[in-house]
Amino acid sequence: NAGVTQTPKFQVLKTGQSMTLQCAQDMNHNSMYWYRQDPGMGLRLIYYSASEGTTDKGEVPNGYNVSRLNKREFSLRLESAAPSQTSVYFCASSRGPLDYGYTFGSGTRLTVV
């Protein structure tokens, strides 16, 4: 009954460092998503993967890359972290691209100093 698991839960990076946020789901969902949430701005889509083997840019993709490693896992990489990337990052999944009942992970709180 894990659902969507995100690691790590908290991270502090220095400007210019790189890191990968991990996301895995055990619900046999086809579609996965990465959003960031900033105060007053709601959830903004970074990248999504409608199905295994495909990835597409969302609203705010600059500074990020993604990998859909397999059906279960969808990782988000920051190559050179910037203070503007300080945010809470949520991974979500759904049965398919037309299923809008998303299951969200618990989030990763990232601070870039």
With residue 107 as reference, give the H or E element that holds it: none
Nearer to other proteins, 21 or 107 (CB): 107
Cβ-based nearer residue to other proteins, 54 or 80: 54
Whole-Å CA distances, 86 to 17, 31, 45, 74, 94: 13, 25, 15, 20, 26
For the chain, the distance separating the N- and C-terminal CA atoms, rounded to the nearest angstrom, is 35
Whether the CB-CB separation of 99 and 31 falls below 8 Å is answered with yes
Which residues in the 51-110 window bind other proteins by CB under 8 A?
56-59, 90, 97-98, 100-102, 104-107
| Binder among 11, 43, 72, 75 for other proteins (CB under 8 A) | 43
Interacting residues with other proteins (CB under 8 A):
33, 35, 40-45, 48, 50, 56-59, 90, 97-98, 100-102, 104-107
